[in-house]
Amino acid sequence: MLPSFSSDNFSVSSLCKALMILALLLYLIFNSISNQYPNCPSTDFFPLPKKRAFPTKESSKANSIDSPTNISHLVFVLHGSERAWHHRKAYIESWWRPNVTRGYVYLDKAPTGDLVPWSKNSPPYKVSEDLTKLLRETRPRTPVIIRMVHGIMEVFRQENGNLRWLVMGDDDSIFFLDNIVDVLAKLDHTKYYYLGGQSEFILSNYWYSFSQGFGGGGFMLSAPLAKALAKDTENCLKRHSHLKSADQITMACIADIGVNLSPHKGLHQIDLRGDISGFLSSHPKSPILSVHHFDMVEPIFPSKDRFESTRHLLRAANVDQSRMMQQTICYHRQINWTFSISWGYSVHIYERIMPRSYIQNPIETFKKWIEKQRPPYYMFNTRLPSNDPCEAPHVFFFESIEKTPRNEIFTSYSRASRRGFPACSSNGNHTAEFISKIGVISPATKRKEMDRCECCDIVHLDGTKKKHRGMRYLRVILVHHNEVFLLVHRMATILQSLSRKSESSLQQQSAKRWIDVNVVTLFTWMAQRCIAELCTGSSEKPSISI
């Protein structure tokens, strides 16, 4: 049962609803005009229904080749050891989809003990080929790195049918499958691509390479590149066996083919230690694809162990990966609070209006990968934890998720612990200590673009007095402000296209009588109010070009 919420004030969401109603009315009127007068064409934004063209044999054949990439086109290669798999398999089983995901975990020897019989929830395993002869010829620094690189050739021989992408990872890598498919579907799988993530720790990139994809965070090879790499693997291993790691050798072999790394900010090596909640709460504006090194960091949720944390994280991810950990920043201007939402993971409340550029920097709750090093440490800007009540956030972590009858997704976040500071005195002592839980309502539709951050509308409950089941709630509604911009642009385009027509026809003269500049002004004003209050915490109108 979801908590009921109310607001006595006219909220921003009311403005947006009114905007949508006006948009619908305009569309219906324009559609009616177009139907009555065929000479008045539809616009590109609201096309009229067209006759459906049935595919020919030739087009069906092309679609089978150029059909959208789906999960069946991906093959995962996970490197591990029999010894570590006894406890690390829980990481992989949290995201692996039996009979759906393709791939293997490569072990150094056959499983024993409680690994027999092999779990149906785990990827199929393979024991790496005997590379004794190759090891004698290459004499690598560490034999295991040869086994890991050679695995690319082994899996390509096994699984090259209908293969578009090869995804490499470790036995403690958490992958977000839907996001990976969406990212790869936007690329041409018939071309050469090497996608990977860099280390968060500057010196790791320096020691190995800034042009290397770190395999723990995962890297992706398009099928043509994987084929070329597999064809020359053993020769390449002989050329580059002096290098320090499997990832470095792979990078060198790919460079020999003439391909370089395309970095992706959603692949996370996690060369960090300790509490990484500050890092995960300020995720960059890219779909999250992976998280690595769970054994090296503290559990990411309070009161849960590492394996429980991964399963809990995937509860939200399995409902909507397109918003997973995407940071949304919004403001409650009446009491000057700032909200930072990492969807599916955490919510922070600041008792002061804070610039977005400041909130987007992760709080340095984590520690350096190598302790005895001089700064700079990280590949991104950070901010130190603060004892200032105006700068220290109230922290809430993801608790539950469910779909509502209104085709929305409701996620709840509960307070981790008391902040331990007084209220922000410079902001009128409006403390947030009374809040125990926060509910976030987001659309059930997948988020398709990430060119801008989403915004949100804060609904405060009856001042500070209302409770639900003994808990004090706030409700937050996510709104993608690009939809508002797009709506204004579409409406203005329709109005302009109609008004510029020759005045000779009756329908155009009739249209011009109701297409008045006041309508455009009203749309623009409502969009400006909606965007300004949701996204900037300001009542000033931003400029909108139409």
Same domain, 391 and 246: no
Q: Is the pLDDT of residue 473 over 70?
A: no
Tokens 């089983």, residue located: 93
Question: Residue 479 has what pLDDT?
Answer: 54
Same domain, 83 and 116: yes
**Domain termination residue (choose one: 219, 234, 269):** 269
Percent of the chain with pLDDT over 70: 72
Give the helix/strand (H/E) hosting 400.
strand 394-403
Same domain, 428 and 473: yes
Q: Is the pLDDT of residue 366 over 60?
A: yes
Of the candidates 249, 241, 290, 295, the one whose C-alpha atom is nearest the C-alpha of residue 83 is 295
Question: Residue 356 has what pLDDT?
Answer: 94
Section 282-293 average pLDDT:
96
Question: Residue 41 has what pLDDT?
Answer: 40
Q: Helix 517-531 and helix 481-499: axis angle, to 10°? A: 170
Residue 253, in any domain of the structure: yes
Q: In this structure, what is the dihedral angle of CA atoms 365, 471, 428, 345, given to the nearest 10 degrees?
A: 30
CATH label of the domain that carries residue 201: 3.90.550.50
Tokens 């403390």, residue located: 431
Same domain, 264 and 329: no
Tens digit of each residue's pLDDT (9 = 90 or more) over 101-146:
999 999 999 999 999 999 999 999 999 999 999 999 888 888 889 9
Q: In this structure, what is the dihedral angle of CA atoms 403, 444, 393, 310, given to the nearest 10 degrees?
A: 70
Section 360-364 average pLDDT:
98
Residue 44, in any domain of the structure: no
- DSSP label at 72? G
Residue 142, in any domain of the structure: yes
CB 124, CB 206: distance < 8 Å: no
C-alpha to C-alpha distances, 134 to 253, 333, 388, 526, nearest whole angstrom: 16, 67, 60, 69
Residue 175, in any domain of the structure: yes
First-to-last alpha carbon distance for the chain, in angstroms, is 43
Of the candidates 213, 207, 84, 71, the one whose C-alpha atom is nearest the C-alpha of residue 152 is 213
- DSSP label at 535? I
Residue 249, in any domain of the structure: yes
469 phi, psi to nearest 5 deg: 55, 40
Q: Is the pLDDT of residue 71 over 60?
A: yes
Helical H runs in 37-142? 57-66, 82-93, 132-138
13 phi, psi to nearest 5 deg: -60, -30
Mean pLDDT of the residues in the chain: 81
Instruction: Say what the pTM is.
Output: 0.79
Tokens 């390509």, residue located: 156
Helices H / strands E in the chain, number of each: 16, 20
Same domain, 257 and 334: no
Question: Residue 428 has what pLDDT?
Answer: 80
Question: Residue 175 has what pLDDT?
Answer: 98
**DSSP β-bridge partners for residue 78:** 105, 169
Same domain, 372 and 460: yes
Q: Is the pLDDT of residue 274 over 90?
A: yes
Range of the domain at 465: 290-479
Q: Helix 233-240 and helix 223-231: axis angle, to 10°? A: 70
Same domain, 244 and 106: yes
Q: Is the pLDDT of residue 386 over 80?
A: yes
CB 146, CB 241: distance < 8 Å: yes
**Domain termination residue (choose one: 479, 500, 523):** 479
**Domain termination residue (choose one: 238, 269, 300):** 269
Same domain, 240 and 133: yes
Tens digit of each residue's pLDDT (9 = 90 or more) over 175-204:
999 999 999 999 999 999 999 999 999 999
Same domain, 141 and 263: yes
Confidence band (pLDDT; 50, 70, 90) for 472? low
User: Looking at the 3D structure of the chain, how many domains does it have?
Assistant: 2
Of the candidates 337, 386, 336, 388, the one whose C-alpha atom is nearest the C-alpha of residue 361 is 386
Q: Is the pLDDT of residue 485 over 60?
A: no
Of the candidates 391, 411, 544, 444, the one whose C-alpha atom is nearest the C-alpha of residue 535 is 544
Q: Is the pLDDT of residue 213 over 80?
A: yes
Tens digit of each residue's pLDDT (9 = 90 or more) over 398-450:
999 999 998 899 999 999 999 989 999 988 888 899 898 999 989 898 888 88
- DSSP label at 48? P
Residue 507, in any domain of the structure: no
Percent of the chain with pLDDT over 90: 59
Same domain, 308 and 262: no
Same domain, 261 and 377: no
What gap in Å lies between CA 169 and CA 110, rounded to an integer? Answer: 20
Of the candidates 375, 371, 348, 351, the one whose C-alpha atom is nearest the C-alpha of residue 361 is 348
Same domain, 254 and 315: no
Of the candidates 274, 302, 294, the one whose C-alpha atom is nearest the C-alpha of residue 89 is 294
Sheet holding 267-268, edge to edge: 174-175, 290-291, 267-268
- DSSP label at 297? B
Q: Are strands 262-263 and 194-196 parallel, antiparallel or unpaired?
A: parallel
Section 50-64 average pLDDT:
43
Residue 50, in any domain of the structure: no
Residue 4, in any domain of the structure: no
